[in-house]
Structure formats: structure tokens, C-alpha cells
Structure 1
Amino acid sequence: MTTKKPPVPVALLMLIGIIAISFSAIFIKWSSAPASVQAMYRLLFTSLLMAPFVRPYSGALVKLRLNDWLLLAASGFMLALHFLLWMGSLEFTSVASSTMIMALEPVFIMIGSFLLYKERSSVSAVAGLGVAIIGVVFIGWGDIGLSQDNLKGDLLSIFGTAAVAVHLMIGKKLVARMPSYLYSLIVFIIAGAVFALYNLATGTAFFDYPPKEWGIFALLAVVPTVFGHILFNWLLQYTSATTVSMNILGEPVGASILAYLLLGERLTGLQWGGGVLVLGGLACYLYVGARIATREEERQRSYMQEAQVLPENAS
């Protein structure tokens, strides 16, 4: 991990990012436009904001191979599928339920990493994610008591979370050989194009929306995307990925508080209990991951120190 310091304390920037992404579900709930239209303009406006700063990465752009473009297309498609399913889930279930379920992203990544790369996790990490899964069952059980639509929303959120996990796993492979900024911009453009084709195929209106909706589209691009996700990506140069990933825990908490204050949403005791299990299990998982990462960093540092000592002794 780099020792550079950002112009603003990391903790403050993390708080700003968590608050920003917590507003995502609120803006979606406020909008009456179809989820596919909200997502399309969110991605389009974000791409327009990013495009003026892409020139330094033009050299990397021309070096992309056909296989890279195919992976970028797959990543963009999965990101579009994530937005379509997760944003659609908010039409049927509460903000708290949907965002708490979406926090299960590490579960799907762990399963995918094991199936594709044979990466194994510690028993403690698996136990933590197991507790989180039990929490999701509690949330779903509580939603069944409210209505069948709530359960439908929970299922859409689960599938949307699986889609974004695939998107992130593809991205992990691509950013190892291309700038993350360029990767994000290309994927946003591809996902936006997927939504444009989807809306065209389904006959969904592109422009017939009141000024309020256009304001929400812009807010979705600026607040949760620029001051949320892009800010977190920028913070990776100043702090560890494990620290940045703590926003997974912050979003459902922040979104639930905002939904209570701004939307009047209330949860049952069973749902709150499930939420506590989800966040507690994920906290355990991230804590174990941080310990493993620290040990690996210390092992590499020790190895480098020994490598420097050996030539001196030989001389």
C-alpha cells in the first residue's frame, strides 16, 4: 500500500463517498421513469463528465486487443444487467432490503473466484459470509410477511448482485493491463449502449420526461457515481482495497437511514435482525481479509529486506 497522502483525510473522503452512494436508491425511488431509462442516462451523463479527461490514456486505448474488447463488452453487459435488475428491485421492495442484499457482493465474488481461479478463502471468512447469507434469508422471510412483491424485489436484488460480481471479476482481470479510468469509461459507454438498444427494442420513450426526471438522471450521475464509485476508485492510490471495500457495509446503513428520513420506510424486527446479521457477517469477512492482506504485505516486505541483505553479505 502506498504511503502517499491525499489532499483531504481518507476518512472524510470515505464518509463523503458512503453518503453519496447511499443516495442512489433514494433518487431511484423518487423517479417515476423506467429503471432502464434512469440507468441509461446515468451512464451517459457520467461518460460525458469523464470523457474530457481521457486523453492521457489514448496510448493505452490503441493497444487494446480483440480479446480485451470482448471482455470489455461482457463487463459492460453485466453492468447493464446489474443496473436493470437492482434498480428494478426498488419498485417492489424497500431500500433497506435491496441494499442489504446487494451488500452480499463478496459472496458471489468468493464463489466465482473459487470456480474460475481455484482461490480458497479461510474458514473464518467463509463463516462470516455464511452468517451474512442467513441474514439475507431473514430479510426475505420478513418481506414475505409484507407481500409477494417484496420477495420479488429481493430476488431481483440477488440476481443483480450476482451480475455486478461477474462485472467486477472481469474488471479485475482487465485493469491489470489497462488504466482503471479508461476501463471505467469504456464499460460505462458500452453499458449505456446496451440500455439504449434495450429501450429501443421495448419501445421505451427516450425523451418524453418532465424536468424533474432529467434532474434525477443528472443527480444519479454526479452524486452516487462521481462522488461515490469514482471517488472510491481514486482512493485506491492512497489506501488499501480492503479499506475502500468497507463502503459495502456503509451503503445499506446510510441508505436505510435516508429511506427512513426521506421516504418514511420502516422495517420489521425480523428484517432489522437480518440486516444486523448481513453487516456483521460481512464485517467479519472484511476483517479476516484485512488480516490476511497485512500478513502477506509483511511477508513480502521481509522477503525484500532479506534480498537486500544477501548481496551486502556476499560482498
Structure 2
Amino acid sequence: MRKTAPIPTAIPLTIGIIAVSFSSIFVKWSAAPASIQGMYRLLFTALLMLPFIRPHLAELKSLSLKKASMLFTSGFFLALHFLLWMGSLKLTTVSSSTIILALEPVFIVIGAFFIYKERTSSFAMFGMGVAIIGAVLIGWGDIGVSRTNLIGDLLSVFGTLAVSVHMLIGQKMVTQVSSYVYSFVVFLSATIVFAAYNLIGGISFTAYAGKDWGMFLLLAIVPTVFGHLLFNWLLQYVSATTISMSILGEPVGASLLAFLLLNEQMTWFQILGGLLAIFGLIMFLNAGRLKWKPGKGGSTEPLKSVS
């Protein structure tokens, strides 16, 4: 049985949706490479978590090699996600990139089927198909814009695949370690991966303007602390399904912010594709948890959730 939240859950959910919607805006406002933005975003987040780590020190010290390896792997794919997705924002529009990123639940359910043998309903699969068609239309619309935009769309697709692997690992690991320890170790691991990438690539760690450093800090505080960490905290009080629905709010919020702050426009192909993708995802996320099979005596019982 879930705990009762100290405040109405709609409040932190709304805060989280607004917070993650700003992520793409801050990325666009910084001229620093995506690998540097990602590294400092996660490093600063880990540093902000550090003052509250004392109650979790014993758990950190007792981590087995196997658990630590899985957490590092999760961090590796988180870093890969940020590298590809934040890189895509340098090449395509906020609307295209974030709507494609919203296909994350589709990739997760496919991965969960092969890894955890979890099934979903035919109606949910239909919704998945609609969402994929919408994503294809977004890419098709960007073909008419430029080849660069299309490459950005592809980077967003691969970035979504990477974060899906990260989430599938996390689905297992959060049952073995606390959400705070999971987030802290994964963020530090991703920071190390980024640092190695930047070092090998000869990318400067410090040659950035004051505005860029401000964006690094904002990326850590707004979409990470008030977004991702807040969603992790909410898992104590609401289902993963409820939180995953918030992913549909990001492309809407991010597109609106991009229109107001970056003066980005969308083609009709992109608008139609975005609406189809969001509609398909709504069908998928709702139907995916309403799977039933005949029980004894002709009654019904729920199948295992895909969350």
C-alpha cells in the first residue's frame, strides 16, 4: 500500500512538468558542447545532493560490486542519452526533439517484453503504432526543412533508445537500493563518463562564458532537481504510470516555451505528427495498464503492469 503524500500530488507533478520543459530551452541558450552541458548538469546536481547524503552513507558503503556495476551502466546510458538528445537540440527544433523523446515509453515496453517478458494489450500496441507514425511525420516534415534537422531528429531517436535502456535498468535497481542512492550514484557515474569523453575528445573543461556556466547550473537546478529528482520522490506516493504520463507534458510545454522564447515555428507536417504522437502515447499509456486475462470461474484478474 502506498504512503499518503504530505501535499496534493498534483502540485509536485505540475512543478515537475514545468521544470523539465525548460531543459531544452537552457540547452539552446548555451553555446557549450552537449557533452560539457551534460557533464556539468549532472555534476552540479550531485553536488547539490551531497549535503543530504549522510543518512545514506551506510547503504553506499555496503553496495556490492554487482549493484555498483549496474548503477554505473545505468549512468553510462544516461550520459549517452544526454549526449545524443542535447546534441540533437543543436540541429533540430525543440518541438521535434522533445516529441520524439516522448516516445520513451514505447521503447521501454518493447525492451520490457524481451527482457522481463512483460506483455501489453492490443489496444496499447495500436496506440504505439499511432505514436510511431506521428514521429515519422515529424521527421518527414523536417526533410523539407533541412538535412541538418533530420540528423537532429535521428539523434533524438537514438537518445530516446539510450534513456530507455537507462530506465529499464533503473526499474530493477530501485527495488534493490533507495531512490536517493540510485540517483546519486547514477548521476556521478554519468559525470565520470562525460569527463572521460571530453578528455579523450580534447574538449575544454573551462573555456566557457559566464552565461554558459549559468545555464549549466540552471540545468542542474530546474529540470534535474525540480524535475527528475522530484519524480523519483513522488514514486513513494503515486504509480509510475501517473508519473510517466507527465512525459506528454514536456513536448507541449517545451514547444510553447520555444515559440515564446526562441521564436521557433512548426511546419504543418510537424504539427500533425506531434498531435498524432501525443494522441498515440495517451492511448498507449492508458491502455497499457488495463490488461486483463480470464481468471478462475470466468472472473478477471489484472496482468502484470509494464511500469
**Which interval holds the TM-score relative to the shorter structure?**
over 0.9
Describe the SS at the equivalent of 1:32.
coil
Tell whether the 8 Å contact from 1:124 to 1:285 is kept in structure 2 after alignment: yes
What's the counterpart of residue 30 of structure 1?
29
TM-score (norm 2): 0.93
What's the counterpart of residue 236 of structure 1?
235
Give distance in 2, aligned partners of 1:266 and 1:260: 6
What's the counterpart of residue 2 of structure 1?
2
Tell whether the 8 Å contact from 2:3 to 2:236 is kept in structure 1 after alignment: no
1:16 matched to 2:15? The reply is yes
Cα displacement (A) at 1:113: 1.0
Matched to 2:71, the amino acid is: L
Matched to 2:274, the amino acid is: G
Cα displacement (A) at 1:3: 4.9
Give distance in 2, aligned partners of 1:248 and 1:5: 21
Give distance in 1, aligned partners of 2:275 and 2:115: 31
Give distance in 2, aligned partners of 1:289 and 1:184: 26
1:291-306 correspondence runs (5 A): 291-292=290-291
Post-superposition Cα deviations, 1:68-102, rounded to whole Å, max 9, x if no partner, equal 12111211110100000000000110000000000
1:25-174 correspondence runs (5 A): 25-174=24-173
Give distance in 2, aligned partners of 1:6 and 1:244: 17
Cα displacement (A) at 1:120: 1.3
What's the counterpart of residue 200 of structure 2?
201
1:260 matched to 2:262? The reply is no
Query: More deviation in 58-67 or 15-24?
Result: 58-67
Tell whether the 8 Å contact from 1:6 to 1:238 is kept in structure 2 after alignment: no
Matched to 1:130, the amino acid is: G
Tell whether the 8 Å contact from 2:84 to 2:158 is kept in structure 1 after alignment: yes
What's the counterpart of residue 217 of structure 1?
216
Describe the SS at the equivalent of 1:198.
helix
Cα displacement (A) at 1:299: 5.8
Q: Which runs of 4+ in 1 moved over 2 A?
A: 289-293
Cα displacement (A) at 1:59: 2.3
CA RMSD of aligned residues (A): 1.8
Matched to 1:202, the amino acid is: G
Tell whether the 8 Å contact from 1:71 to 1:170 is kept in structure 2 after alignment: yes
Give distance in 1, aligned partners of 2:253 and 2:131: 18
Cα displacement (A) at 1:221: 0.2
Give distance in 2, aligned partners of 1:288 and 1:165: 20
Cα displacement (A) at 1:292: 4.4
Structure 2: gaps spanning 5 or more residues: 293-299, 303-307
Structure 1: gaps spanning 5 or more residues: 301-315
Tell whether the 8 Å contact from 1:242 to 1:289 is kept in structure 2 after alignment: no
Tell whether the 8 Å contact from 1:105 to 1:165 is kept in structure 2 after alignment: yes
> How many positions carry a matched residue from both structures?
297
Q: Provide the identity percentage.
A: 61
Give distance in 1, aligned partners of 2:183 and 2:12: 20
1:274 matched to 2:273? The reply is yes
Matched to 1:176, the amino acid is: T
Tell whether the 8 Å contact from 1:17 to 1:228 is kept in structure 2 after alignment: yes
Give distance in 2, aligned partners of 1:22 and 1:6: 25
Tell whether the 8 Å contact from 2:46 to 2:187 is kept in structure 1 after alignment: yes
Cα displacement (A) at 1:67: 1.2
Give distance in 2, aligned partners of 1:96 and 1:235: 27
Describe the SS at the equivalent of 1:88.
helix
Tell whether the 8 Å contact from 1:142 to 1:271 is kept in structure 2 after alignment: yes
